[in-house]
Amino acid sequence: MAQPVPFLEDFDAVLPGAGTGWLDRLRADAQEAFRKSGLPTPRTEAWKYTNLRRLARTGFVAAEANQTTEVTTVPEGIVALEDAYVAVFVNGRFAPSLSSLDGLSEGVEATSLAAKLSADRTSLEGQFSDVTDLPMATLNTGLLSDGLYLKLDDGVALDKPLHLVSIGTAGEEPVSFHPRHLIVAGAGSVATIVESHVGSGAYFSNSVSEVSVGDGAVLNHYKLQNEGPEAYHLAANLVRIADRAVYDNFVLQVGGNLARNEIRSELGERVECRLNGAYLACGEQHIDNTTFIDHAAPNSSSREVYKGVLDENARGVFQGKILVRQDSQKTDGHQLNKTLLLSPGTEIDTKPELEIYADDVQCSHGATTGELEEEPLFYLRARGIDPQTARGMLVAAFVGEALDEIQAEAPRAAFQAVVDDWLESRSERQG
């Protein structure tokens, strides 16, 4: 007898746009592929350090079949942005009553993907990437239903950030959902997108974001993963950056029981690509950051700084690969991963990888792991600062170096506040 396939076995909800030929085929092919591959296991190199065994054992029910929980307010823990367009998703479904997308300028389309798929059966054909080598993204395609659809016409500048808020919520039954976000920034467009992922209860968010940064566009894209303590969060971000574009990405992961954020970026010519991030974890949390930077054309630069702080029994994973193809001369690629281990129960697996086929490039990578150094700690204490405050200052300084990479000022301050909160609650736990 065949093993039941998680997430697909009893799935009988009618998905948006069903009956559209290309869409039905896309989903069916992806479902078929996922039936074959199943959930990734540590036997796969890409999933060597992040084990989905516990996720597989949890009997998640599709959010489509479980609509008992209602959310009437946006919970705390999101990025605090003074002024932004807000698109809220509850268990992966667009929540118009919690969103505010009024006043978007001409040339900007921001809507729910489900609405788009139901109303307009042709325009999205061919817009979804082939993700067959990513089993979880393949599952996402198989159940593709809702998410943010954002399109900026050529030359449009978004006048304030767009804040994507994902709220996960589960009652007694664990719930799973598979949001698909599609972001298309036209040539020469300028925008800042901020994501907040929060929630409560046992839920599993398996999202895929496809981002296309047009020729000469500037896209700031900052994400806070602050899921509830019982949550699973797996996210694949597929980013195509066209010639002369600037992509400034930052990922701050502090929440979830198990979380993995994967970024795959493909760079055109004369691109500036910045993938930075920080992860702060305690308790039994497991946080994974996996990135792939594909220098597919010459004269581009990539910069990557990831800094982590692990406490108690937390586990961190960093896998960062940079590929420089043969014709990608004059590539400038730098990667750094530093992790601070605050207690003996913590563990970090860090795997930097450089694969270079061009001969005229400047590339470097480095990874360090360690405890707080005694010397600066003593220096602070010798000035009357108590050890707990002194440690807090040094940890904040350590993470601060990553936060400094965020190019947009207001989001940087908002992310700093999240880090400060985390550090404060840590020192309270110890207090």
98 binds another protein (CB under 8 A): no
| HEC sequence for 361-375 | CEEEEEEEEECCCHH
Yes or no: say if 300 and 328 are a contact pair by the CB < 8 Å rule: yes
Q: Does 381 bind another protein (CB under 8 A)?
A: yes
- Per CB under 8 A, the segment of 20-28, 268-276, 291-299, 396-404 that binds another protein is 396-404
Does 100 sit near another protein (CB under 8 A)? Answer: no
- 409 is an interface residue for another protein by CB under 8 A: no
CB of 399 closer than 8 Å to CB of 383: no
| Subset of 29-58 contacting another protein (CB under 8 A) | none
Pick the piece of the chain touching another protein (CB under 8 A) from 56-64, 152-160, 344-352, 376-384. 376-384
The count of residues interacting with another protein (CB under 8 A) is 22
Query: Of 88-96, 162-170, 226-234, 369-377, which segment contacts another protein by CB under 8 A?
Result: 369-377
Q: How far is the CB of 305 from another protein (least distance, A)?
A: 13
Pair 264, 239: CB distance under 8 Å: yes
Of the pair 357, 378, the CB lying nearest another protein is at 378
Q: Cβ 427 to another protein, closest distance in Å?
A: 14
Question: CA 397: distance to chain centroid?
Answer: 24
- Check binding of 283 to another protein (CB under 8 A): no
Q: How many CB atoms lie within 10 A of CB 121?
A: 15
Q: Which two tokens stand for residue 26?
A: 């896309």
Please state whether 276 falls in left (phi above 0), alpha (psi between -120 and 50) or beta: beta
Under the binding rule (CB under 8 A), the answer on residue 396 touching another protein is yes
CB-nearer residue toward another protein: 61 or 393 = 393
| Dihedral (CA of 203, 206, 212, 218) sign | positive
Q: Using the rule CB under 8 A, is 366 a contact of another protein?
A: no
Q: Which stretch binds another protein (CB under 8 A): 182-190, 245-253, 359-367, 378-386?
A: 378-386
401 lies in the site for another protein, by CB under 8 A: yes
Angle at CA of residue 424, ends 256 and 315, nearest 5°? 35
Question: Segment contacting another protein (CB under 8 A): 75-83, 180-188, 207-215, 387-395?
Answer: 387-395
DSSP labels, 178-196: --EEEEEE-TT-EEEEEEE
* Phi/psi-derived region of residue 107, left when phi > 0, alpha when psi is between -120 and 50, beta in every other case: left
- In 96-182, alpha helices (H): 113-119, 135-142
Q: Quick check: helix, strand or coil at residue 57?
A: helix
Tell me how crowded residue 3 is: count the other CB atoms within 10 A of its CB.
Answer: 8
CB atoms within 10 A of CB 330: 15
- 156's CB contacts (< 8 A; 6+ apart) are 105, 106, 107, 108, 186, 189, 190, 191
Interaction of residue 375 with another protein, rule CB under 8 A: yes
User: Rule CB under 8 A: is residue 384 a binding residue for another protein?
Assistant: yes
Q: What share of the chain is helix, strand, coil (3-state, %, to 5)?
A: 20, 40, 40
Q: Which of 160, 163, 143, 159 is nearest to 63 (CA)?
A: 143
CB nearer to another protein: give 230 or 405.
Answer: 405
> Taking CB under 8 A as the rule, does residue 383 contact another protein?
yes
Q: Which listed range, 19-27, 111-119, 194-202, 379-387, lies at the site for another protein (CB under 8 A)?
A: 379-387
Distance CA 7, CA 56 (A): 10
Strand partners, 291: 263, 320
Q: Can you say how many angstroms the Cα of residue 424 is from the centroid of all Cα atoms in its chain?
A: 24
**Binding segment toward another protein, per CB under 8 A, in 7-15, 18-26, 155-163, 398-406:** 398-406
Task: Write down the least CB distance from residue 414 to another protein, Å.
Answer: 19
Q: Does 11 bind another protein (CB under 8 A)?
A: no
CB 380 to another protein: min, Å: 7
Determine, following the binding rule CB under 8 A, whether residue 70 of this chain makes contact with another protein.
no
Least distance in angstroms from the C-beta of 401 to another protein: 6
| Cβ distance to another protein smaller for residue 293 or 395 | 395
Site mask for another protein (CB under 8 A), range 320-359, x = bound: ----------------------------------------
Question: Is residue 372 a contact point for another protein (CB under 8 A)?
Answer: no
Distance spanning both ends of the chain, measured CA to CA: 55
Pick 62 or 390: Cβ nearer another protein: 390
- Among 400, 417, 425, 430, the residue binding another protein under the rule CB under 8 A is 400
Residues that bind another protein (CB under 8 A): 374-376, 378-387, 389-390, 393-394, 396-398, 400-401
